[in-house]
Amino acid sequence: MSARKKRTVVMISGRGSNMASLLEATREDQYPAEIVGVISNRSGAPGLEVARRAGIDNRVIAQDDFAGGEAHDAAIHDALVDMQAEIVCLAGYMRIFTAGFVALWEGRMINIHPSLLPLFRGLNTHRRALEAGMRVHGCTVHFVTAGMDEGPIITQAAVPVHAEDDEASLTARVLSTEHLLYPYALRLVAEGRARMDGARTVYSGVAPSSGALISPSPSEGVVDIESLARMTP
């Protein structure tokens, strides 16, 4: 790989399965980013152990150790600077940042959210998608701005919702898709092929997708919309 890899820090609060998928992807020679650090706000986050075993610089910066949000965010900022972070990936990080901190990292901080934003911002996205009777659900990677789950969308992946799904089965289907989408999104950002420009993401060198996900499926999986129109019921 000729270009230098972008120094990336992952922030977690829990399990860290998305962090693990990023770690895995970044091990590839040709991948344009490397994970140089992991920050957790919870000392008991299971993902920390994964980072330790991988020999990645891992730090706990817990809110209880600080007088307030600004002091906590200042400590996180100092750690990111110390790690020489160029990109920050939030992966199940369960704290809302102060606007001042977000402004410092704007365009360089991305988050994965388990829904097709702007639908279902916040928590319990899978339960809410089921309650709404959605037949298509998914996940989104977006740039982080001051509004929760509101920043410019970088990429989204849709999955079908099956009639027999419960929260656990839908969660599992979306999560395994997250594990593919996040490395793809980080690649786009690290290569400068997706970048934040005001309220939008602008792209270079990305091909438009084709096809449609129809759910429930008239035949099998993804069909193109034109053949669907020609189908006899």
From the list 72, 113, 137, 142, the catalytic residue is: 113
- Shortest-Cβ-distance residue relative to ligand GRF: 92
Nearest-5° Cα angle at 141, 216 to 22: 105
Stretch of residues binding ligand GRF (CB under 6 A), selected from 68-76, 108-116, 199-207, 211-219: 108-116
Of the candidates 32, 92, 151, 152, which one interacts with ligand GRF according to CB under 6 A?
92
Nearer to ligand GRF, 72 or 179 (CB): 179
For ligand GRF, the binding residues in 9-28 under the rule CB under 6 A are 12, 14-19
**If binding is defined by CB under 6 A, does position 201 make contact with ligand GRF?**
no
Nearer to ligand GRF, 168 or 229 (CB): 168
Nearer to ligand GRF, 18 or 201 (CB): 18
Of the candidates 32, 114, 160, 183, which one interacts with ligand GRF according to CB under 6 A?
114
Residues in touch with ligand GRF (CB under 6 A): 12, 14-19, 47, 91-92, 112-114, 175, 178
Active-site residues, by number, are: 113
